């Protein structure tokens, strides 16, 4: 069985590798490529897969990881800032969509109320994976449409919690025997079992506060990045298993665990470590969705499936369009939100499977509804193409051109300081007392903990990783300050910033002259030797103590510092031309020659300010 699983997974990955570049060239989302790849290799076309459901169950872990990362993004401060969009726009969308779909299913189709309410709740959700990818690809995340879409998706993801708690309440009593893996809940009295979700949430709050963060601090003290990656996966797997034991969806547990860690200093590092695994498993998950679509079901019930898909898309589109008007979205933004969110989301797969296990829907209806979900996802890029080609030109504006009018990032995100030791902390304190708050990245967990206790926006992580820099806000920041001890790490980050964040203005710390030479020869301009200013200041004080006038001594120090910077640039060019035997002694000798050639006069009347 393991051999079959590996073979099927290999085929799924191969389909993704072939199909995704093709659909991306056509301008469609990569998710559609995964689903189409699954359809092609599935049992109804090439018949390359065995039991796709075996792989699908395994790769549902990708959805679990997606929920964990979304939970990490849900900081209380961010939630409060977006409360109108999340609770207002998102809440109304869920309530109105669920109510109308329930009436359609119950009154028009004639399904029993348990089936009608279960499917209405499932279909009111939209695809977080597809929509977030669209926002990122179109670079419109910070537009009004992007913020509205994210608010709605966030509310929907949170709504999964009460939905998972609600479905067992309306299920048949016999279903309590089907969840044999929920060992802990089976030990509880019957009257307690409905409250299992609250037991699980309470346990996670305690674990997050008193276990998770201290445990991560202990692991980070080892300084081994791979160990922290293993710990990240351990937390997600462990929390998921705990939720299974109490009879709750593992995806719900992962989301709550992410929320518990959203305010910790490890937020960005956890997100960075887990994201590659989440992306891979989600890719295989969507391929398995495509391969599991039962085309015999579609062939036998085409009217039901396609009419139901159309009704859901039209209903959600109309509701979103109306709510957009209420929340005063412009026409072009409103249509983009409505087209983007009208499909059914990937969590419908999880909820449909859960409802089937609870005997709320039978296997045949489950297969039909799985097809409806997949078809609605595949239609999404076509809807967006209609919007882009037909709707947006009507308004004579393309969404995304209003980026300069989008809500700007607050001042504490304009500057990123990497490395907060004796050098970086001095820079940070100077900025703070003048009203400039910076995002701080450092690899010392104890230091980060202290900084956060003092109210600074500090995070633990390895800043030589592009995804971590992106998570820290490098795409929107203006200034990057590099204060690490290692010049190699500083330059590695410079290379990353030049490639992925070319808009950033970079300031870098150098330990000594030789480091400065290397940075200059690599095209770095804003370089600051950590000992130069202090050494010159000390020299000025010594000159005063030796009898020189204070004003003259200060001007001499200032002039010496400027000439030192100028000579450093000249010597850097010579060092680049010569052999690696260029030594400090030679550097000092050549600097002395430059100083002599400059014929410096220390007369107060001949002061010349040599700017670098």
Instruction: Kindly list the distances between the CA atom of residue 476 and the CA atoms of 213, 264, 403, 439, 546, in Å, as whole numbers in the listed order.
Output: 28, 22, 12, 12, 51
| Reported confidence tier of residue 56, pLDDT bands at 50, 70, 90 | low
CA–CA separation, 116 and 109 (whole Å): 9
> Which of 73, 79, 85, 120 shows the shortest CA–CA distance to 100?
120
Identify the pLDDT of residue 87: 84
Of all residues in the chain, what percent carry a pLDDT higher than 90? 12
The tokens describing 341, both together, are 């969110």
Which distant-in-sequence residues (6+ apart) come within 8 Å of 96 by Cβ?
A: 319, 323
Q: Tell me the average pLDDT across 479-496.
A: 88
Q: Tell me the average pLDDT across 195-207.
A: 71
CA–CA separation, 575 and 215 (whole Å): 48
Instruction: Say which residue, 135 or 151, is predicted with more confidence.
Output: 151
- Residue 169: other Cβ atoms inside 10 A: 8
Identify the pLDDT of residue 575: 61
| Reported confidence tier of residue 191, pLDDT bands at 50, 70, 90 | low
Instruction: Say which residue, 415 or 401, is predicted with more confidence.
Output: 415
Identify the pLDDT of residue 29: 67
Instruction: Kindly list the distances between the CA atom of residue 221 and the CA atoms of 59, 211, 212, 265, 486, in Å, as whole numbers in the listed order.
Output: 32, 16, 14, 13, 19
| Reported confidence tier of residue 142, pLDDT bands at 50, 70, 90 | low
User: Which residues is 438 bridged to in the sheet?
Assistant: 415
The pLDDT tens digits for 334-346 are: 888 999 999 998 7
The pLDDT tens digits for 105-128 are: 999 888 999 999 999 999 999 988
Identify the pLDDT of residue 602: 42
Q: Tell me the average pLDDT across 455-466.
A: 80
Of all residues in the chain, what percent carry a pLDDT higher than 70? 77
Give the SS3 label for residue 461. Answer: coil
Find the angle CA(394)-CA(399)-CA(405) to the nearest 5 degrees: 125
- Is the model's pLDDT at 408 over the cut of 70? no
Q: Tell me the average pLDDT across 500-507.
A: 90
Report which secondary-structure segment, H or E, holds 482.
strand 479-482
Identify the pLDDT of residue 407: 33
The pLDDT tens digits for 531-545 are: 777 777 778 888 888
Beta pairing class for 415-418 and 479-482: parallel
- Is the model's pLDDT at 24 over the cut of 60? yes
Instruction: Kindly list the distances between the CA atom of residue 571 and the CA atoms of 127, 535, 599, in Å, as whole numbers in the listed order.
Output: 58, 20, 18
User: Which residues is 505 bridged to in the sheet?
Assistant: 479
| Reported confidence tier of residue 11, pLDDT bands at 50, 70, 90 | confident
CA–CA separation, 595 and 84 (whole Å): 64
Q: Tell me the average pLDDT across 185-209.
A: 65
Identify the pLDDT of residue 276: 73
- Is the model's pLDDT at 402 over the cut of 50? no
Q: Tell me the average pLDDT across 253-265.
A: 77
The b/e string for 396-433 (b: 16+ C-beta within 10 A; e otherwise) is eeebbebeeebeeeeebbbbbbbbbeebbbebbeebee
Instruction: Say which residue, 277 or 176, is predicted with more confidence.
Output: 277
The CATH architecture annotation of domain 409-519 reads 3-Layer(aba) Sandwich (3.40)
The pLDDT tens digits for 276-295 are: 776 777 777 778 777 777 78
pTM: 0.61
The domain segmentation of the chain, as residue ranges, is: 61-395, 409-519, 531-612
Q: Which residue has the tokens 């410096």?
A: 600
H helical segments located in 82-224: 83, 91-103, 113-123, 128-137, 144-170, 183-186, 196-207, 213-220
Q: Tell me the average pLDDT across 295-321.
A: 91
CA–CA separation, 437 and 457 (whole Å): 8
- Decide if domain 61-395 falls under CATH 1.20.1530.20: yes
The pLDDT tens digits for 150-170 are: 889 888 888 887 887 788 888
User: What's the length of the chain?
Assistant: 612
| Reported confidence tier of residue 178, pLDDT bands at 50, 70, 90 | very low
Identify the pLDDT of residue 342: 93
The tokens describing 184, both together, are 């802990």
What is the chain's alpha carbon radius of gyration, rounded to the nearest angstrom? 30
Q: Tell me the average pLDDT across 234-245.
A: 79
Instruction: Kindly list the distances between the CA atom of residue 84 and the CA atoms of 65, 143, 327, 339, in Å, as whole numbers in the listed order.
Output: 27, 16, 9, 21
Can you list the pairs that 514-519 forms with residues at least 24 positions away whose Cβ atoms lie under 8 Å? 514/584, 514/587, 515/487, 516/568, 516/572, 517/568, 517/571, 517/572, 517/575, 517/576, 517/587, 518/487, 518/491, 519/487, 519/490, 519/491
Instruction: Count, in order, helices (H) and strands (E) of the chain.
Output: 29, 6
């Amino acid at each position: 069985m393991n051999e079959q699983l590996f073979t099927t997974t290999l085929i799924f990955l191969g389909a993704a590798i072939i199909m995704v570049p093709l659909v991306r060239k056509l301008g469609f989302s990569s998710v559609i490529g995964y689903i189409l790849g699954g359809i092609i290799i599935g049992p109804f076309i090439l018949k390359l897969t065995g039991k796709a459901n075996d792989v699908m169950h395994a790769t549902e872990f990708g959805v679990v990881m997606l929920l964990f990362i979304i939970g990490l993004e849900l900081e209380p401060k961010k939630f409060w800032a977006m409360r109108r969009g999340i609770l207002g726009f998102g809440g109304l969308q869920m309530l109105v969509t669920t109510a109308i779909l329930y009436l359609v299913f119950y009154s028009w189709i004639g399904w029993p109320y348990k089936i009608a309410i279960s499917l209405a709740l499932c279909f009111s959700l939209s695809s977080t994976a597809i929509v977030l990818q669209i926002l990122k690809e179109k670079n419109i995340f910070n537009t009004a449409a992007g913020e509205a879409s994210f608010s709605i998706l966030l509310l929907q993801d949170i709504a999964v919690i009460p939905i998972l708690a609600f479905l067992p309440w309306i299920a048949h009593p016999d279903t309590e025997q089907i969840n044999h893996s929920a060992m802990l809940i089976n030990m509880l009295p019957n009257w307690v079992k409905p409250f299992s979700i609250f037991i699980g949430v309470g346990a996670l709050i305690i674990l997050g506060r008193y276990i998770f963060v201290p445990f991560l601090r202990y692991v980070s003290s080892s300084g081994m990045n791979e160990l922290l990656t293993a710990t990240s996966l351990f937390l997600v797997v462990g929390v998921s298993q705990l939720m299974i034991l109490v009879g709750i969806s593992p995806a719900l547990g992962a989301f709550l665990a992410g929320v518990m860690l959203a305010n910790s200093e490890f937020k960005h590092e956890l997100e960075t470590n887990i994201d590659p695994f989440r992306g891979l498993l989600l890719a295989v998950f969507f391929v398995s969705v495509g391969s599991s679509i039962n085309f015999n079901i579609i062939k036998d019930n085409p009217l039901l499936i396609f009419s139901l898909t159309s009704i859901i898309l039209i209903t959600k589109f109309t509701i979103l369009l109306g709510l957009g008007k209420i929340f005063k979205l412009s026409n072009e933004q409103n249509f983009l939100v409505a087209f983007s969110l009208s499909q059914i989301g990937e969590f419908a797969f999880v909820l449909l499977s859960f409802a089937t296990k609870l005997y709320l829907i039978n296997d045949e209806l489950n297969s039909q509804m799985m097809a409806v979900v997949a078809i609605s996802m595949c239609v999404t890029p076509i809807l967006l193409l209609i919007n882009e080609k037909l709707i947006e030109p009507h308004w004579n504006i393309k969404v995304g051109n209003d980026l300069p009018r989008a809500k700007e990032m607050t001042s504490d995100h304009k500057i990123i300081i990497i490395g907060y030791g004796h050098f970086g902390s001095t820079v940070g304190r100077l900025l703070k007392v003048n009203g400039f708050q910076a995002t701080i990245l450092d690899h010392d967990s104890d230091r980060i903990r202290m900084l956060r206790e003092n109210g600074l926006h500090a995070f633990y992580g390895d800043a030589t990783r592009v995804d971590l820099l992106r998570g820290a806000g490098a795409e929107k920041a203006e200034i990057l300050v590099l204060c690490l001890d290692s010049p190699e790490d500083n330059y590695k980050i410079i290379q990353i910033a030049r490639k992925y964040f070319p808009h950033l203005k970079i300031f870098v710390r150098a330990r000594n002259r030789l480091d400065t030479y290397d940075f200059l020869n690599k095209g770095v301009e804003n370089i600051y030797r950590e000992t130069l200013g202090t050494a010159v200041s000390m020299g000025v004080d010594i000159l005063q103590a030796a009898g020189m006038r204070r004003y003259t001594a200060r001007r001499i120090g200032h002039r010496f510092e400027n000439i030192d910077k100028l000579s450093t640039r000249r010597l850097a060019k010579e060092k680049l031309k010569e052999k690696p035997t260029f030594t400090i002694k030679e550097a000092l000798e050549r600097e002395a020659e430059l100083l002599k050639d400059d014929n410096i006069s220390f007369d107060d009347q001949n002061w010349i300010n040599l700017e670098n």
